[in-house]
């Protein structure tokens, strides 16, 4: 029989629908709560396999916890706010600049955003259902709904009341297209190789005819130049070249050499000698004249060390990267000229050093990235234009020393891909300073899976600047702050009802919380003046940060429900959420509720294409969820995603490999079909005494124990691989073979059903459809309503399991010896002899019968032998133990066979079996980890006849299959009349399903020969 995923999945979908299985699960009333919070994906993209991976992991968690008896909160959510949607609407309307939005009307713009934000979630919900995720059966939360935004208002007020929300002016990344500020972590991932100007310019020292040589790639920031910076301890030189006296760092003379310029060194001194030296403004523009009036501008300052990069200790070990926290001087002497142009209004480091020296920080660039009035002849120029015109200006005044272009990695807007600029603007900040200590403490109370994420996150928190939490945009939660036009006092609104009461205008009860509505609302100030709303919306990361309570509309509705669910028990998302969602959740949780919002965080690795490349639309290598699902079905897809790698590692998604998984599931399908054709579940208890039965019972219970542990620790890859390995090898290959002769016995029925009941449950979270189909076929009930399998400790016999492991090894050694000798497995062998220690003798005596069956032997014997040597595997231990290798090698050479285990402790050293080479000293036979085997290949008359019998059975069965007979169909077997065959009658009848044997051929279906024996046969279906 063939397992057909599509048929199974369709059938089970129907069953779930008619029996309302998902409803029974999502509406469970009893049990301890388990709050599984869905991280809202952007709704306006179609799901690809990476999304399905996250969805699958979350669903596995949900199904597992439900089976453990928890009342799981499965609600899905979608992120409907923010720039991605605004950008789509801009494209639709052909909007080029932000002011075009005002032209078409903000209400119309927002109306269109709303249309884009919702509607697409159906595609996601359908996909959830298709892959069998329970979240597909609940109404999702949408971050653009009024109840959600209202919770956001309540949260903003809470944060404000704690003194954590403050306005301020700081330079920050800014997108001149979207005309909004962007936070540091929004910038981290979006860099592009761009061409930029690279100019070397000369600043004249006041009252001297000497010049400072300075390098910049951003000429547009020169109108805001406030200072020049040198390294205090590096050497600088004064040289004469191109008819000018120029100052440059000694190490950077290289630059002049590269230009093949001749120069004469006139003087040499340390950078600190230049401290305080005044220079003439570079550009003749109003702003520079204004700066000239303050005595704190246009002078040389000394560089200070800054934290440039922090490298976490753990990461260093893990990734084996060299390096430490990078403290570097702002002046980097390895490039440029060693003299740096400082514009505190246009750069993060410039801002820091500007604060340090108390420098002015002009930022003469407007929201669209155009230079402002005070830049005189450069006003209204955009960045590119300004770069060019400023270069030309400098060239015409003989201040341009050298000009070229270079490619470098430049941050761009993560949505519209416009290169970002650094400019100063008025913003609202969530102050992190007062929260950091608490956050760092709470991080320790959270379970991080894998563990190293904890340190990554702690590092990030330590280095985070205040959160710039407002965006100058339209589609999102409007900042609920109103400011008096007259006295500038401020009011924060925390609910719609409050706004309705305080509003000067009449408001309906159910108005939309959107910029277009609230911007028309004014409040009366106590001073008699009128208050209007401070423009801006909340950062989308704030929207997702409040999800634990905003998804429920707390505190305006679901108050009891939220209080019973809080805090979130588990979140499972992609690794980029460490600085994204996990962080914004933590900040919101601590600032509003004073505690960590979650108990367990799981992080998923990337999903790459088959070759390990990042999937991207432009490369055309994206595998869409729909595509993958259509091709391989839900169960195979889920199992592939869970078993290929550790969940936190990158996964190379391969449809080809997924198909191998399908073959394995096919084995399970056939195994259950086989069992089903023989047995029905019954309540009869039987006494289990056979070793093979006891072994399987022990194995399955050990497995349940291990898998439960794996599941709790997010080792989904171990859980699935071990379970599948048990099904494919232990159960369907070994056990079925061992019980062939008593397959219809009560004991075997009992063992098989017992084992299947447990193992199918282990698979249920991973392959919900196939598990359901097979389980209901055997036990009628829905597997998803059953509880997680329990461990029957009394059935675990580790000693027996270990003996079986060695038995399997011996059998494998025998089988490879057979291969060497060219004797097929279906031909019985007279005798195998096992050579080893007395302990092996015990094992051979106890489970010899098992080995005989597995290796098709007539007899098995044992001989004690020390004819085996254990040698160090230098290729392995050399790497592991370095200069201790010799010592370890000596210890290994003293080992006895009985000491060999999977993990070995030798003195202070820990070794694995792979670190040893076990060789027999003689050349005969094949070795296993504790000895070796030889075969007696003599074939006497009796064995010859038996081998003939095996060939005959095989031929008849082949014919049965060709004629499409069922396993249970009985036949009448016709054989040519030969005396020797008669002693095998009973055996033969059983093996080929014959009711009776008739001698004399009616219709010959085939002829079998082995050596000098041959016999014709035929059969008829009964
Ligand atoms: Zn942008
Ligand atoms: Zn006022």
**What is the three-state SS of 195-225?**
EEEEEEEEEEECCCCEEEEEEECCHHHHHHC
Indicate the length of the chain as a whole number: 1022
- In the chain the first and final C-alpha atoms are separated, in Å, by 22
Closest CA to 68 of 709, 850, 883, 878: 709
Q: How far apart are CA 943 and CA 611, in angstroms?
A: 53
Closest CA to 420 of 471, 362, 344, 347: 347
Q: How far apart are CA 725 and CA 997, in angstroms?
A: 40
Is there a contact between 81 and 476 (Cβ–Cβ < 8 Å)?
yes
Beta bridge mates, 235: 270
Ligand 1 centroid to Cα of residue 924, in Å, is: 74
Residues, CB within 5 angstroms of ligand 1 (ion): 175, 177-178, 413, 416, 418
Q: What are the backbone angles phi and psi of residue 555, rounded to the nearest 5°?
A: -95, 10
Residues 6+ apart with CB under 8 A from 808: 734, 854
Ligand 1 centroid to Cα of residue 418, in Å, is: 6
CA angle 587, 591, 592 (to 5 degrees): 115
Ligand 2 centroid to Cα of residue 527, in Å, is: 4
Instruction: Name the token pair of 551.
Output: 């998804």
Ligand 2 centroid to Cα of residue 166, in Å, is: 19
Is there a contact between 411 and 420 (Cβ–Cβ < 8 Å)?
yes
Q: How far apart are CA 264 and CA 266, in angstroms?
A: 6
Ligand 1 centroid to Cα of residue 470, in Å, is: 15
Q: Which ligand is nearest to the CA of 186?
A: 1
Q: How far apart are CA 492 and CA 428, in angstroms?
A: 13
Ligand 2 centroid to Cα of residue 533, in Å, is: 13
Is there a contact between 475 and 101 (Cβ–Cβ < 8 Å)?
no
Ligand 2 centroid to Cα of residue 490, in Å, is: 8
Beta bridge mates, 212: 203, 247
Q: Is 650 exposed, middle or buried (0-12, 13-18, 19+ CB in 10 A)?
A: middle
Q: How far apart are CA 858 and CA 893, in angstroms?
A: 36
Ligand 1 centroid to Cα of residue 601, in Å, is: 31
Q: How far apart are CA 255 and CA 335, in angstroms?
A: 9
Question: 1019: how many CB neighbours lie within 10 A of its CB?
Answer: 25
Q: Is 11 exposed, middle or buried (0-12, 13-18, 19+ CB in 10 A)?
A: middle
Q: Which ligand is nearest to the CA of 522?
A: 2
Ligand 1 centroid to Cα of residue 378, in Å, is: 24
Closest CA to 155 of 471, 426, 541: 541
Q: What pLDDT is attached to residue 959?
A: 93
Ligand 2 centroid to Cα of residue 483, in Å, is: 8
- Give the CA dihedral 124, 125, 129, 130, nearest 10 degrees: -30
Is there a contact between 397 and 211 (Cβ–Cβ < 8 Å)?
no
Q: What pLDDT is attached to residue 490?
A: 95
Sign of CA dihedral 865, 871, 877, 883: positive
Ligand 1 centroid to Cα of residue 416, in Å, is: 4
Ligand 2 centroid to Cα of residue 537, in Å, is: 23
Q: What are the backbone angles phi and psi of residue 697, rounded to the nearest 5°?
A: -65, -40
Q: Which ligand is nearest to the CA of 484?
A: 2
Helices (H), 475-580: 496-502, 515-518, 540-545, 547-550, 559-565
Ligand 1 centroid to Cα of residue 83, in Å, is: 8
Ligand 2 centroid to Cα of residue 504, in Å, is: 14
Ligand 1 centroid to Cα of residue 188, in Å, is: 14
- Which whole-number Å values give the CA distances from 887 to 846, 874, 895, 897, in the listed order? 38, 12, 13, 19
Instruction: Name the token pair of 142.
Output: 């949408």
Ligand 2 centroid to Cα of residue 482, in Å, is: 10
Rg (CA), the chain: 38
pLDDT in tens, 186-204: 776 678 888 999 999 999 9
Q: How far apart are CA 605 and CA 716, in angstroms?
A: 13
Is the entire prediction scored with pTM above 0.85? Answer: no
- Report residues of the chain scoring pLDDT below 70: 184-185, 188-189, 307-327, 680-683, 866-867, 920-923
Instruction: Name the token pair of 622.
Output: 């994206």
Q: Which ligand is nearest to the CA of 525?
A: 2
Q: Which ligand is nearest to the CA of 176?
A: 1
Helices (H), 445-494: 452-463
Is there a contact between 404 and 315 (Cβ–Cβ < 8 Å)?
no
Number of H-type helices and E-type strands within the chain? 36, 42
Q: How far apart are CA 1017 and CA 1021, in angstroms?
A: 14
Cα 1015 off chain centre by? 62
Q: Which ligand is nearest to the CA of 187?
A: 1
Residues, CB within 5 angstroms of ligand 2 (ion): 484, 486-487, 489, 525, 527, 529
If phi over 0 gives left and psi between -120 and 50 gives alpha, with beta otherwise, what is residue 330?
A: alpha
- Give the CA dihedral 510, 511, 512, 516, nearest 10 degrees: 170
Q: What pLDDT is attached to residue 680?
A: 64
Q: How far apart are CA 933 and CA 925, in angstroms?
A: 5
Ligand 2 centroid to Cα of residue 499, in Å, is: 17
């Amino acid at each position: 029989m063939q397992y057909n995923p599509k048929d199974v999945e369709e059938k089970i979908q129907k069953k779930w629908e008619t029996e309302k299985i998902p409803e029974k699960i999502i509406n469970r009333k009893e049990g301890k709560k388990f709050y599984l919070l869905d991280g809202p994906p952007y709704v306006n993209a179609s799901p690809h396999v990476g999304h399905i991976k996250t969805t699958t992991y979350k669903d596995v968690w949900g199904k597992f916890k439900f089976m453990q008896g928890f009342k799981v909160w499965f609600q899905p959510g979608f992120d409907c706010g923010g720039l991605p949607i605004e950008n789509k609407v801009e494209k639709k309307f052909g909007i080029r600049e932000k002011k075009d939005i005002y032209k078409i009307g903000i209400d119309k713009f927002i109306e269109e955003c709303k249309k884009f934000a919702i509607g697409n979630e159906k595609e996601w919900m359908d996909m959830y259902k298709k892959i069998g995720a329970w979240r597909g059966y609940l109404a999702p939360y949408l971050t653009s709904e009024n109840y959600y935004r209202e919770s956001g208002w309540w949260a903003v007020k809470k944060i404000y009341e704690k003194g954590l929300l403050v306005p301020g002016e700081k330079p920050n990344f800014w997108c001149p297209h979207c005309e909004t500020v962007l936070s540091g972590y929004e910038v981290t991932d979006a860099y592009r190789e761009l061409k930029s100007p690279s100019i070397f310019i000369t600043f004249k020292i006041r009252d001297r005819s000497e010049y400072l040589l300075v390098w910049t790639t951003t000429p547009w920031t020169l109108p805001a130049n406030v200072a020049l910076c040198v390294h205090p301890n590096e050497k600088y030189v004064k040289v004469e070249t191109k008819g000018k006296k120029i100052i440059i760092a000694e190490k950077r003379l290289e630059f002049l050499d590269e230009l093949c310029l001749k120069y004469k060194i006139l003087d040499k001194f340390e950078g600190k000698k230049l401290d305080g030296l005044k220079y003439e403004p570079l550009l003749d523009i109003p702003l520079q004249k204004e700066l000239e009036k303050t005595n704190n501008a246009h002078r040389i300052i000394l560089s200070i060390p800054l934290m440039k990069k922090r490298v976490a200790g753990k990461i260093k070990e893990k990734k084996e990267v060299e390096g430490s926290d990078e403290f570097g001087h702002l002046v980097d002497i390895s490039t440029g000229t060693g003299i740096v142009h400082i514009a505190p209004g246009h750069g993060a480091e410039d801002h820091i050093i500007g604060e340090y020296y108390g420098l002015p920080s002009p930022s003469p660039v407007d929201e669209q990235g155009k230079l402002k009035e005070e830049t005189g002849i450069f006003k209204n120029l955009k960045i590119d234009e300004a770069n060019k015109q400023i270069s030309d200006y400098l060239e015409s005044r003989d201040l341009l020393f050298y000009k070229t272009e270079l490619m470098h990695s430049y941050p761009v807007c993560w949505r519209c891909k416009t290169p970002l600029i650094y400019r100063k603007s008025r913003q609202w900040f969530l102050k992190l300073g007062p929260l950091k200590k608490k956050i760092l403490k709470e991080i320790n109370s959270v379970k991080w899976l894998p563990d190293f994420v904890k340190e990554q996150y702690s590092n990030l928190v330590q280095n985070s600047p205040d959160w710039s939490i407002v965006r100058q945009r339209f589609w999102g939660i409007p900042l609920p702050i109103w400011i008096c036009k007259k006295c500038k006092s401020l009011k924060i609104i925390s609910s719609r009802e409050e706004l309705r009461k305080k509003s000067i205008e009449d408001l309906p009860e159910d108005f939309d919380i959107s910029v277009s509505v609230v911007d028309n609302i004014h409040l009366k100030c106590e001073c008699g003046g009128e208050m209007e709303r401070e423009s801006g919306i909340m950062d989308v990361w704030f929207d997702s940060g409040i999800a634990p309570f905003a998804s429920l509309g707390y505190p305006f509705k679901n108050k009891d429900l939220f209080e019973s669910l809080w805090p979130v028990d588990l979140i499972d998302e992609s690794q980029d959420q460490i600085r994204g969602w996990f962080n914004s959740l933590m900040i919101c949780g601590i600032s509003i509720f004073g505690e960590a919002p979650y108990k367990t965080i799981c992080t998923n690795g990337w999903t790459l294409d088959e070759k390990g490349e990042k999937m991207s639309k432009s490369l055309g290598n994206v595998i869409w969820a729909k595509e993958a699902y259509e091709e391989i079905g839900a169960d195979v897809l889920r199992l592939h995603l869970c078993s290929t790698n550790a969940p936190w590692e990158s996964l190379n998604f391969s449809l080809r490999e997924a198909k191998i998984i399908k073959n394995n599931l096919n084995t399970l399908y056939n195994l259950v079909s086989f069992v089903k054709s023989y047995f029905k579940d019954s309540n009869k208890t039987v006494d289990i005494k056979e070793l093979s039965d006891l072994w399987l019972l022990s194995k399955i219970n050990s497995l349940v124990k291990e898998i439960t542990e794996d599941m709790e620790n997010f080792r989904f890859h171990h859980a699935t691989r071990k379970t599948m390995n048990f099904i494919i090898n232990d159960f369907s290959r070994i056990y079925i073979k061992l019980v062939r002769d008593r397959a219809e016995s009560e004991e075997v029925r009992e063992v098989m059903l017992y084992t299947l009941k447990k193992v199918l449950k282990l698979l249920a979270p991973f392959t919900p459809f196939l598990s359901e189909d097979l389980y209901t076929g055997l036990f009628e009930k829905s597997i998803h309503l059953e509880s997680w399998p329990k461990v029957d400790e009394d059935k675990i016999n580790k000693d027996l399991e270990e003996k079986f492991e060695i038995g399997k090894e011996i059998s494998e050694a025998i089988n490879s010896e057979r291969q060497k000798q060219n004797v097929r497995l279906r031909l019985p062998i007279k005798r195998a002899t096992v050579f080893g220690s007395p302990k092996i003798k015990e094992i051979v005596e106890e489970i010899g019968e098992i080995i005989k069956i597995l290796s098709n032997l007539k007899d098995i014997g044992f001989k004690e032998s020390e004819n085996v040597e254990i040698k160090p595997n230098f290729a392995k231990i050399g790497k592991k133990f370095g200069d201790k290798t010799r010592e370890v090698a000596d210890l290994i050479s003293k080992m006895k066979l009985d000491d060999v285990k999977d993990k070995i402790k030798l003195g202070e050293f820990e070794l694995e079996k792979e670190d040893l080479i076990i060789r027999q000293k003689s050349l005969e036979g094949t070795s296993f980890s504790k000895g070796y085997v030889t075969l007696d290949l003599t074939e006497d008359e009796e064995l010859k006849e038996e081998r003939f019998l095996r060939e005959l059975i095989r031929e008849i069965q082949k014919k049965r299959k060709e004629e499409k007979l069922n396993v249970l169909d009985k036949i009448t077997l016709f054989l040519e009349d030969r005396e020797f065959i008669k002693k095998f009658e009973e055996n033969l009848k059983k093996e080929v399903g014959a009711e009776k044997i008739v001698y004399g051929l009616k219709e010959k279906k085939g002829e079998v020969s082995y050596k000098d024996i041959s016999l014709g046969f035929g059969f008829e279906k009964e």
